[in-house]
Amino acid sequence: MPDGEVFTGPVENSAEGTILYSFPACHNGREIENVHLTFKKGKVIQAHASKNEDYLNKMLDLDEGARYLGEFAFATNRGIQRFTRNILFDEKIGGTVHLALGASYPESGGVNKSVLHWDMICDLRKAGKVYVDGKLFLKDGEFTQKFG
């Protein structure tokens, strides 16, 4: 499997705001298109989609942890450039971010528990910004801060 992501377990009650995912969220053979989530105190309080919205909400209602983030990741593999519907490749498309709803990876410091772990990808290569602690961290899919 390809390498190419930097991931962490987010503070479970910290997500605030909205996200519109660029690619279909694929899960159990279903495609959910134009997923739009609104977070308040870390929890998804609204979830909409233009296709398979009922399925999206059914998955978010599996258990208490399904509506919280379990992973936040920056993708760094510039060799992968197009969406294939194979999450093990797609979540590493350089210049994208993915957030997973549900279970955290304990080794990432996350504590969220759920039967769900659903990665959803947002393409930031053409127009997108990520701020970390009030500072621009990623713009148009490129890191603005130096590491090391």
Would you say residue 55 lies in a domain?
yes
Query: Residue 1: its pLDDT value, please?
Result: 58
**Structural domain that includes position 62:** 5-143
Would you say residue 91 lies in a domain?
yes
Burial group, residue 83, by CB count within 10 angstroms (0-12, 13-18, 19+): middle
How many domains does the chain contain in total?
1
What single string gives the DSSP state of each residue in 97-121? EEEEEEPPPGGGT-----S-EEEEE
Query: Residue 67: its pLDDT value, please?
Result: 98
Looking at every residue in the chain, the average pLDDT score rounds to 93
Would you say residue 26 lies in a domain?
yes
What single string gives the DSSP state of each residue in the chain? ----EEEE---TT---EEEE-SS-EEETTEEEBS-EEEEETTEEEEEE-SB-HHHHHHHHTSSGGGGBEEEEEEE-BTT--S--S-HHHHTTBTTEEEEEEEPPPGGGT-----S-EEEEEEE-SSS-EEEETTEEEEETTEE-S---
Query: Residue 65: its pLDDT value, please?
Result: 97
Would you say residue 135 lies in a domain?
yes
Q: What is the pTM of this model?
A: 0.90
Would you say residue 148 lies in a domain?
no
Query: Residue 130: its pLDDT value, please?
Result: 87
Would you say residue 124 lies in a domain?
yes
pLDDT in tens, 83-140: 999 999 999 999 999 999 999 999 999 999 999 999 999 999 999 888 888 889 999 9
The fraction of the chain above a pLDDT of 70, given in percent, is 97
Would you say residue 83 lies in a domain?
yes
pLDDT in tens, 38-91: 999 999 999 999 999 999 999 999 999 999 999 999 999 999 999 999 999 999
